[in-house]
Structure 1
Amino acid sequence: MIEEILIEIQNKQSFDFEETFDIYKKCSQLIITNETSAQKIIVNILEDKGKFEPSLNNVLTDLIEAVGFYPYLAKENLQLDSTDSLIRQVYHYSDNLDKYLHEDQKHLLSLLNSNKNVVVSAPTSFGKSLLIEEFVASNKFKNLIIIQPTLALLDETRRKLRKYDENYKIIVRTSQEPSLEKGNIYLFTAERVNEYKGFPNIEFIIIDEFYKLSSQRDDERADSLNNAFHYILKTFNSKFYLLGPNIDNISEGFVEKYNAIFYKTKSSLVDVKTIDIYSEHKEKFNRPIKFKEYKEEILFNLLLSNKQNQSIIYCSSPRRVRYLSSKFCEFLINKIEDTLIEDLDIIEWITENISKDWSLIKLLQNKIGIHDGALQKHITSSVIDYFNNGNLNYLFCTTTIIEGVNTSAKNIIFFDKTKGHNTLIDYFDYSNIKGRAGRLMIHYTGTIFNFNPVPPNEQVIIDIPFFEQNPISDEVLINLEEAEIKDTRSEQYNRIKQIPQNEKEVIKKNGVQVNGQRNIIETIREDIVSDYNLITWTTTPSYEQLKYCLNLGWKFLMKKGESKSLGIGKLVHKTFNYGLHQNLRRLINSDIQNIIECVEYYNLHKNNDSNDLVKYKMSLGKRYRTKNELEIMEEVIMTNFQIQKHWFQYKIPKWLSVINSIQEFVCNEKGLRAGNYNYYTNLIENEFLRENLAILSEFGIPSSAIRKLEKLIPSSMQQDEIIKSIRENKLYENSSFIEYERNKLRET
């Protein structure tokens, strides 16, 4: 019956009084027997409200109120007429946020306001994160930590919460001190929680996308998240709120131990329709090499036919994002004669700081955006802003669509079936991708177009390793006290117990591979005399010193299964050159010039490979010999962005920090003067920005603008005063800034 009603609503042009009353009556009966289905029908009625008899709006109002969708009463300007209904409506009003909560949100809020901790599983369009703002606005807790998996999500949360800066200091970097006068909100990744030393009494901790605690979901940061959560609970006994989508249960016994409740709801204010593209074309879609262009043409025509609504296209990797978006752009240009060129402020910035020929310019001008883990933070935040504001119609994404940012579109295209090259999208990931269809309070319905079979539906039970301990990694186990260990007779625990206490303290503090750190300790102990100068450098390393350290990281700190495609030789070379150039554009231009020279060399000396340098030139020249200069530039830009994001801003600073602590430990043990890598580590991680201004990069301000601020802000100014100075002195009005930089500074 439900599907028949939905099809009728979709296909029929209008409903007279009797037909409207009949559908409303069936919906009323469903509220008693199957409320989730009733909600779905009501949402679809609201999507096509103009088709229904308006004289029965009072009945529709009662139906909406009966399923607790109070935000939609305000949105549709529908008035309740009974005193009881008005009292219930007022009850669902949030004085803190000046908006209505729907019934499930209100229930969840009541749980959070009780003495219980709450673990919630709800659809993407439920509005789970709205309750984070509710708690901040209520001033109920003085010190809060919000852990999110990506810096992009944290920046989005910071922008939502900055209006509460009179009551809270928002802390985004580990170098910031807490305020003593007002409350503190820590917006941190798990790694930053583990690094931070000066927490005040933390009363409330929120973990967004908490499924990342699981050891089963192949997330390399699960250990850090477990250690961060465990540390906060053990140290402060904080109240917690864990939120995530499409989860069926968590580790048995966890809710009992931590006075928690697991709350699962399917309540959603947006209905997602599914359209199966795959079945009609599966004979060709199942042969992706032979019919690659065929599948792409189906996609491009679908996007063009739905151009009146925004679409997000899921792709398996950054390379696929670049390829498909560029190909679609050419398709659009050929199909539409009078293309309206979108004039966005970032285009001038790209021209000045990357290249006037970078393909992203043409994409943006044709209302196409890209979003993946490789782009710089300010670019991704700008692309999402443009998309959310309607400046872009299409967004080609990787798994960042699931966890990297909060955005939605009327249409979601499930185009690639893997994450990366080989890992199949499972039902959990598919559900999260599907959940991005339809934007809450903008669309009543969304659509997912499946270009692949829907993965088999499997129960998702999230294990919490520090509690369940089956399995548990060495990196989490080493941080537990003996009283917390469930199996003290295990070989794993006894192996860790035998590590000398002084070594254990160093290893625990660093929070990465236990065996890898032990191997580094032994290697440095063996090499400290013969290679003392390679190990104990300070300030800036020579090429050989950097090579020694990065080789240790490459050999001992890479996780099993982690890609080594870059190669340690290239990594050392790129990192050292980055230190020399201290600027990504110079690094990009240097790489392009080097490749062009190697191609020319290869064409002149095809049979000469007499030494390693010549072999390197020949190999590089052979690889790029068929590409033109623009194609070389595109690949170099993408590669350098990926290296900057993954290696320069994450992996290498972590490796150097770990190795620095170990060399210091060994030197103290041997009575030798230790080195200090901190200066160089901070420079690499922060794009060589001046220390007190580096905080601005957390706010999505491009490094080009931050470098210009070096002339306007003294180096002695404390980082917490910098935003205030920019605002009060209107520094963004300085003529040295281009419009994009000026707008970014204004936003902050």
Structure 2
Amino acid sequence: MNYVDGLALRAAERMKHAFSVEDFFTKEVRDIQKGLEDVYKMLQSSSTYTQGVSYLCRFCENYPDDKLCRELIGQCIGSSRIFLYEEMLEKKGCSTACEDLFSSVQKAFYSLPGDLVLTKEQKDLFDLFKTNRKLVVSAPTSFGKSRIIREIVVYYDYKQVVLIVPTNALLSETYVSFLNDKRFDQTDLIYSTHIPPSKNRAVYIFTPEKFDAYSDEHEIDFDFFVFDEVYKVDSRDNRSSVYSSCLYKAYKKRCDYYLIGPYFKKFSDAYLEKTAGYFSKFSTDIVQKELYTYSDDCELQVGKTILPSRRTKISKLKEIVRRVDGQTIVYVSRKDSAESKAKELVKICAEVENQLLEEVIEYISETISDEWSLISCLRNGVAFHHAGIPKYIQTELVDLFNAQILQVIVCTPTLTEGVNTSAKNVVFFDNKKADIPLTGFETKNIIGRSGRFGHHFIGRAFSLGEELQQEEIEKIDFPIFDYESVSKEDNLQIDLDDLPPSGKEQRKEILDEVRQKRVPITLLKKNKYIKFENQLALIEFLRANQTLEGEVLFSGSLPTKGQLDTIIELIHDILFSESDVRRNWTTGALQKFTAYQVYYQPNIKELVSEYNAVREDTRIRNVLTLIYEYFEFKFPKYFMAFEHLFNFVYSASLNLSPLIIHLQYGTDRIQDILLIDAGVPVSIVKKVSKHLSGAETIVEIKHRLRQQNILALLSKVEQRMLLKRI
């Protein structure tokens, strides 16, 4: 042990005994000065650096009114190399008064050419990539892993980049960040599966499903692959297969990669070995987390605030929202719960007067429903957020929240998966995801959404019942290389040479089975993620019912209502997986609303009015689930699989592509599709569509908007929503 490490370890030991969380705002000035001197020593050593940052955040949060303390904090910030802390203090009206030649030189060393100042560990990560261009990184949620993606792309001059993000909301957010970065003005940004590949410099920004479909259809010669939230390849849920497929494609390309995610200790040895990759774990959380358990019938101290004892969860939640400073995200397990809890919080929140808010409320009233409870919630600074809400409304809600106009968002996991907010507090109303208990990793990941770097030194997480249990993932396995076996559908997507011995044996069994049933393996391989047994069952049914060929085949671009009903019935009864069958969406209901969408192109308001339910919130929730789960995601893959299987059995030429496009977009006009894929609401697209006729690229659309007075057709909020996305 060297001298500096020895000093740091002794300082850490003193701090451990001298300062608890409560001590940071009760200690005498001289004790705080001594504490800051110890923090400075801790920041000099790699062994105590992370602890030092933790203490520094708490001193910054409870900023002492003393000149020497301020100077010591400035020295500590310089030593931490997290220079944004200085700006954060200035926003609070505090100055560290430590700007000198040395600190200026130090900042310059941690700055990139675009004047982006990195933290110490971000700089370590950026430098690590220079020597390890195939890199897997685990780091806390507030670390800034995504912050330097654009810097890496620019610095290393990559020509064709693929960037995978887990949700459409993050796709939109990432696309806009590249769009607003002048360094990418000459780069083609491809975010829609309807945009052909570029021969020029390009960044492809997709969800896993979109990239998988796009790369099956088009050959992309990408030289850099970025995968956000990479832990999902090993999640064993209904999306893990498509995540694995995307990562497998990067492996086959042998390109550079940057795979990132929070809180995992190891990554697949097999994947790293086969790609000559490198794994690095960073542990410093630059926004510290304080955890509170608000037990029944017990008071709770939060800083200088005392929350009174309460018995029920909802009463404790109201006390937190009413008394604890900072904006709050409330985590719940279900969509209906998000709505009901938001309505409860409206009772204690004051009405908000804001022009931007009124414009959004007016837009929601006109395009969805003026009876939706979201409107009354918004008027009181509260929102609910879940997967059934239109993506463009989700974006508006987050923007209003980040602008400090909304104070509370009650959400399901949709808001806790990578979306950045200005929330200081996270409250766990539920410890489940749907009906399944949260894992320790999921809990830790949600806690990570409390506090945002650049806004907060401390984030807070509250449990309204039992103590929160956190844990990191021990290791992320790559299913294709590490699992003893994968599903039959997944096995078919893997080259034989890449399968382990057990996988090769499974492949042999699959081939034997399909030979007996006289089915080509290429057919089943084409229908990715459709259950193997269900495909074979539909083939057998079609073979046994030869008259179906004449009943289903149609001329023209779309089937008749009767033909569409038959297709949906077969898909629902034979092809659907168990998880895709919903009580609220029977075969008859799906037939009715799918026909309405395809033949009449209704808006959301019209779809809601057709749905039979007692409460408006239920009508809206179920219709939006229909649109965003079935129309946009589930039905397209099932219709395409049906087409493949039908044409094989009958040697026919059934073409369901126009049906799929009408179902997903409500239109087949390319200018409409490009705008919708960019996140522009259909209601806005319909207003501008005829003025953009013939425009086949987003560049042409932007040119038309500049040259013609098209924006005058839109309200202020519609103009803002359109321009934000293109």
Q: TM-score, normalised by structure 1?
A: 0.86
Question: Alpha carbons of 1:227 and 1:339: their partners in 2 closer, same or farther (altered >3 Å)?
Answer: closer
Is 1:34 the counterpart of 2:48 in the alignment?
A: yes
Shift, 1:46, TM fit: 1.4
The counterpart of 1:575, out of the listed 582, 594, 612, is 594
Aligned position for 1:717: 695
Aligned position for 1:109: 126
> What SS does the corresponding residue of 1:249 show, helix, strand or coil?
coil
The counterpart of 1:195, out of the listed 210, 213, 217, is 213
Give the conservation status (yes or no) of the 8 Å contact 2:534–2:574: yes
The counterpart of 1:72, out of the listed 68, 82, 85, is 85
Question: Alpha carbons of 1:462 and 1:330: their partners in 2 closer, same or farther (altered >3 Å)?
Answer: same
Give the conservation status (yes or no) of the 8 Å contact 2:661–2:668: no
> What SS does the corresponding residue of 1:298 show, helix, strand or coil?
helix
1:471-501 deviation line (CA, Å, top 9, x unaligned)? 4222221111221111157652222233459
1:107-135 deviation line (CA, Å, top 9, x unaligned)? 11122222441111111110011011212
Aligned position for 1:371: 385
The counterpart of 1:443, out of the listed 456, 460, 483, is 456
Q: How does 1:247-286 map to 2 (within 5 A)?
A: 247-278=264-295, 280=297
Give the conservation status (yes or no) of the 8 Å contact 1:430–1:454: no
Aligned position for 2:306: none
Aligned position for 1:661: 644
Aligned position for 1:681: 660
Aligned position for 2:608: 588
Give the conservation status (yes or no) of the 8 Å contact 2:658–2:668: no
CA distance in 2, matches of 1:150, 1:319: 21
Aligned position for 1:358: 372
Give the conservation status (yes or no) of the 8 Å contact 2:60–2:73: no
Q: How does 1:17-416 map to 2 (within 5 A)?
A: 18-31=30-43, 32=45, 33-49=47-63, 51-73=64-86, 75-76=88-89, 87-96=105-114, 98-138=115-155, 140-162=157-179, 163=181, 164-180=183-199, 182-196=200-214, 197-214=217-234, 217-234=235-252, 236-278=253-295, 280=297, 294-306=312-324, 308-332=325-349, 336=350, 340=353, 343-403=357-417, 405-416=419-430
CA distance in 1, matches of 2:310, 2:73: 48
1:503-540 deviation line (CA, Å, top 9, x unaligned)? 32232233122332233333333334444322556522
What amino acid is the match of 2:623? N
Give the conservation status (yes or no) of the 8 Å contact 1:80–1:86: no
Shift, 1:40, TM fit: 0.4
Shift, 1:462, TM fit: 1.6
Question: Alpha carbons of 1:567 and 1:78: their partners in 2 closer, same or farther (altered >3 Å)?
Answer: same
Is 1:564 the counterpart of 2:543 in the alignment?
A: no
Q: How does 1:464-483 map to 2 (within 5 A)?
A: 464-483=478-497
Question: Alpha carbons of 1:75 and 1:366: their partners in 2 closer, same or farther (altered >3 Å)?
Answer: closer
Give the conservation status (yes or no) of the 8 Å contact 1:409–1:439: yes
> What SS does the corresponding residue of 2:292 show, helix, strand or coil?
strand
Shift, 1:399, TM fit: 0.5
Give the conservation status (yes or no) of the 8 Å contact 2:695–2:701: no
Structure 2: runs of 5+ lacking an equivalent: 1-14, 90-94, 300-308
Give the conservation status (yes or no) of the 8 Å contact 1:118–1:240: yes
Aligned position for 2:716: 739
What amino acid is the match of 1:385? D
CA distance in 1, matches of 2:329, 2:442: 15
What amino acid is the match of 1:393? Q
Aligned position for 2:687: 708
Is 1:511 the counterpart of 2:494 in the alignment?
A: no
The RMSD of aligned alpha carbons is 2.7
What amino acid is the match of 2:230? F
1:306-353 deviation line (CA, Å, top 9, x unaligned)? 3x4210000111111111111221343xxx5x7647743121212222
What amino acid is the match of 2:430? D
Give the conservation status (yes or no) of the 8 Å contact 1:311–1:410: yes
Question: Alpha carbons of 1:225 and 1:173: their partners in 2 closer, same or farther (altered >3 Å)?
Answer: same
Q: How does 1:481-630 map to 2 (within 5 A)?
A: 481-487=495-501, 491-498=505-512, 499=514, 503-512=520-529, 513-534=531-552, 539-565=557-583, 566-583=585-602, 584-592=604-612, 624=614
Question: Alpha carbons of 1:689 and 1:483: their partners in 2 closer, same or farther (altered >3 Å)?
Answer: closer
Q: TM-score, normalised by structure 2?
A: 0.88
CA distance in 2, matches of 1:407, 1:659: 41
Shift, 1:11, TM fit: 2.9
Higher alpha-carbon deviation: 120-129 or 198-207: 198-207
Aligned position for 1:695: 674
Higher alpha-carbon deviation: 641-650 or 460-469: 460-469
CA distance in 2, matches of 1:292, 1:678: 57
1:612-644 deviation line (CA, Å, top 9, x unaligned)? xxxxxxxxxxxx4xxxxxxx2221111101111
> What SS does the corresponding residue of 1:635 show, helix, strand or coil?
helix
> What SS does the corresponding residue of 1:375 show, helix, strand or coil?
coil
> What SS does the corresponding residue of 1:494 show, helix, strand or coil?
helix
Question: Alpha carbons of 1:249 and 1:538: their partners in 2 closer, same or farther (altered >3 Å)?
Answer: farther
Give the conservation status (yes or no) of the 8 Å contact 1:121–1:247: yes
CA distance in 1, matches of 2:25, 2:310: 34
The counterpart of 2:635, out of the listed 648, 652, 668, is 652
CA distance in 1, matches of 2:248, 2:205: 17
> What SS does the corresponding residue of 2:279 show, helix, strand or coil?
strand
CA distance in 2, matches of 1:244, 1:188: 17
CA distance in 2, matches of 1:41, 1:329: 36
CA distance in 1, matches of 2:17, 2:562: 68
> What SS does the corresponding residue of 1:666 show, helix, strand or coil?
helix
CA distance in 2, matches of 1:145, 1:634: 38
Higher alpha-carbon deviation: 242-251 or 496-505: 496-505
> What SS does the corresponding residue of 1:392 show, helix, strand or coil?
coil
Shift, 1:186, TM fit: 0.6
Higher alpha-carbon deviation: 463-472 or 359-368: 463-472
> What SS does the corresponding residue of 1:36 show, helix, strand or coil?
helix
Structure 1: runs of 5+ lacking an equivalent: 283-290, 596-623, 625-631
Identity of aligned residues (%): 24
